[in-house]
Amino acid sequence: GDPVWAISSETVNSLVGLSLNFFFVLPLMNSVGIRLIDAPVLHPMSEGLFNFVIGWTFMFAPLLFTDCKRDRYKGSLDVLWGFQMFLTNTFLIPYMAIRLNEACSEDTPRDHSQLASVMTNGAPIVGLIGGAICLLSTLWALYGRMDGDFGGITERWEFLVSYLGSERLAYAFIWDIFLYIIFQAWLIGDNLQNVQLSKVGTVNYLRFVPVVGLTAYLLFLNLDEEQ
């Protein structure tokens, strides 16, 4: 791919198009005849990959805001999650390192921000929305835009292989997925005390399953403990 200082206009246009199709809002609106803006037509495999990562990132907000070691990080968790959501989850690497530090007396619990309160109190809804987006993204990648010239599953798989080998955005998404697989299992494992007692075993098992484990954590989060 191009170096970061020489990103091609094609990559920029692709990123803009993917952003406009955020959570498939425009394509789905267009499909039922609502055309405030025409959705850019991109390859469904790239659209699916993009929205899969975004859906997973969306679900990471309540996990971060309920992390038992979050106060060891002195920066803003709102900003950290915003960087995750709109740039890359590579920003999570320093957070994961900082939370390994020994607790000190200065690590006093901080009040939840407004964003943290909304995301934490609405964790089950966040989990359902994020999980649904990830499922829809997978189905869209395989079966979306069947009226277009994108072929069947075999052709789409061939496109994905080519896409991963030649496009900066593609391997950035794969890098994000790789990190999320590690960080999801790690963070949930450190925060099982936040889960409803009767569901701890289930969540502990599912935390190793991408997306599904985080969905389970959010659905079974003990909100009384977080109040």
Query: What average pLDDT values come out for the chain (227 residues) when binned by 10 residues?
Result: 56 78 86 84 91 95 94 90 87 91 68 89 96 96 89 93 85 91 96 96 97 98 74
pLDDT (0 to 100) of residue 80: 92
Residue 222 lies in a domain: yes
Q: 3-class SS at 195? A: strand
Distances (CA, A) of 175 to 74, 100, 116, 147, 150: 26, 22, 26, 31, 25
Handedness of CA 128, 134, 138, 140 (dihedral sign): positive
pLDDT in tens, 144-179: 888 888 999 999 999 999 988 888 788 888 999 999
- Containing domain of residue 121, as a range? 43-101+110-226
pLDDT (0 to 100) of residue 37: 85
Residue 8 lies in a domain: no
pLDDT (0 to 100) of residue 13: 77
Whole-angstrom distance, CA of residue 144 vs CA of residue 135: 12
Residue 6 lies in a domain: no
pLDDT (0 to 100) of residue 178: 94
Residue 138 lies in a domain: yes
Residue 9 lies in a domain: no
Residue 1 lies in a domain: no
Amino acid at 102: E
Residue 18 lies in a domain: no
pLDDT (0 to 100) of residue 105: 59
pTM, whole model, 2 decimals? 0.87
Residue 2 lies in a domain: no
Kindly tell me the burial class for residue 141, based on how many C-beta atoms sit within 10 Å of its own C-beta (0-12, 13-18, 19 or more). buried
Please give the tally of structural domains in the chain. Answer: 1
